[in-house]
Amino acid sequence: MTDRAFGQEQIQQAKKAMEYAVEQLEVGMRQEHYNDIEYSDAQMKLEQAIRGLTQVEHLANRENRDEFSRLRIQMEQLKNQMVVTPH
């Protein structure tokens, strides 16, 4: 797999993880502690996607590195929000 294809795959996985995490965060805020398993799963997927983006970030050129970095920062902010939000 080329570096470019690997990078695009990591971006797609990251976006899917973010969508799932946002969904679980919204559900968690409405239902409080009734979705603990899904909530934890969303946090785990976010963490895995963050690690994947960090790997790709080191391999990317400057322009793509900025894109990966911005996406990673958004994901880290979402992950932090999930930690501090009661669910």
Using alpha carbons, select from 39, 44, 15 the residue that is nearest to residue 29.
39
Q: What is the mean pLDDT of residues 11-19?
A: 93
Tens-place pLDDT, residues 41-66: 999 999 999 999 898 888 888 888 88
pTM of the complete model beyond 0.85: no
- For residue 60, give its domain range: 3-84
Residue 11: C-alpha distances to residues 22, 36, 78, 83 (Å): 16, 26, 16, 23
Q: How many domains does the chain have?
A: 1
Q: What are the structure tokens assigned to 17, written together?
A: 């993880």
